[in-house]
Amino acid sequence: MRTSRFISLLAALALAGAAAAGTPQRVVSVNLCTDQLALMLAAPGQLISVSRLAHDADSSALVDQARALPTNGSRAEEVYLLAPDLVLAGTFTDPATVAMLRDLGIRVELFEPARSLADVPANLDRMGRLLGRGAQAAEMIAAFERDLAALTVDLEPRPRAALYYVNSYTAGDRSLAGDILRVAGFDNVAAETGLDWGGVLPLEQLVMLAPDVIIEGRDYPGQARAEDNLTHPALAALTHTRKAGSLTDRDWICGTPQVLHAIGAMRDLRLSLEPAR
């Protein structure tokens, strides 16, 4: 039993060596966002493992497809034993892991976290080329741009919205979340405070800004005092502000076509504000 597994591992390693020049045959993803890009674009059997977060329904937008694949804990040892010929990682993946895998002769491709909607077609294109699936990627890019145009809201006036996450974090205009708000027809109040990427928005400042809408970050499992800011009574006391509930995190964090779900939800929110105005 064990010997046969070892032999198949050796065979796989040999195969990996052979295919290194051409299209990768054993692709391992160790980052939630590359998981999703690869799940959408890889040929059947090409992607052999996804990161552990990909199986978490709150974080992963493609959890059903991901559950068909085994997960990895994103550490060099287990990734190496999967005998990949291409590892997909994020620029925030532990640099020691990336360096180790590269030292072991494995090709590692790093994807930056998306900072705008323009990163979505760019990511699809790059992933398509890496996986030898350029045609599928081009199709997806066209569909994404068509859907994005259809969802874009161009109504005046633009309500002032605040994204308010755990620990009083907010996202600015130069972030993916900020871009989602913009396309859905909102102005981001973070811009009024000079936060363009994002950062801490003190509760007192948020209240003084009195945005038209507050969209809260997700509630994580378990308890943390850091989440208390989301339930502070001062937010409820703001009578002219609509509390729009919490966002579906999985559609907001990765630069993949799943952001269209987030844009759709924000568009619905924007349109629901219309008659009252």
List contacts with another protein (CB under 8 A).
166-168, 199-200, 202-205, 207-210, 220-229, 232-234, 237-240
How far, CA to CA in Å, does 70 sit from each of 53, 105, 183, 190? 11, 23, 36, 40
Q: How many C-beta atoms surround the C-beta of residue 124 within 10 A?
A: 25
Single out the residue of 215, 214, 201 nearest to residue 246, CA to CA. Answer: 215
User: Cis before residue 121, ω within 30 degrees of 0?
Assistant: no
Q: Which residue's CB is nearer to another protein, number 14 or number 226? A: 226
Closest CB 235 distance from another protein, rounded Å:
9
Q: Which residue's CB is nearer to another protein, number 1 or number 208? A: 208
Q: Which residue's CB is nearer to another protein, number 8 or number 167? A: 167
Structure tokens at 262: 């987030």
Closest CB 259 distance from another protein, rounded Å:
21
Q: Which residue's CB is nearer to another protein, number 147 or number 219? A: 219
Closest CB 147 distance from another protein, rounded Å:
31
Closest CB 262 distance from another protein, rounded Å:
20
Closest CB 241 distance from another protein, rounded Å:
9
Q: Which residue's CB is nearer to another protein, number 138 or number 209? A: 209
Closest CB 223 distance from another protein, rounded Å:
5
The four Cα atoms 123, 179, 217, 59 give a dihedral, to 10 degrees, of -10
Q: What is the DSSP string of 246-265?
A: E--GGGTSSSSTTHHHHHHH
How far, CA to CA in Å, does 210 sit from each of 77, 231, 238, 240, 267? 50, 16, 7, 8, 21
Residues in the chain: 277
Residue 28 pairs in a beta bridge with 49, 87
Q: Which residue's CB is nearer to another protein, number 152 or number 205? A: 205
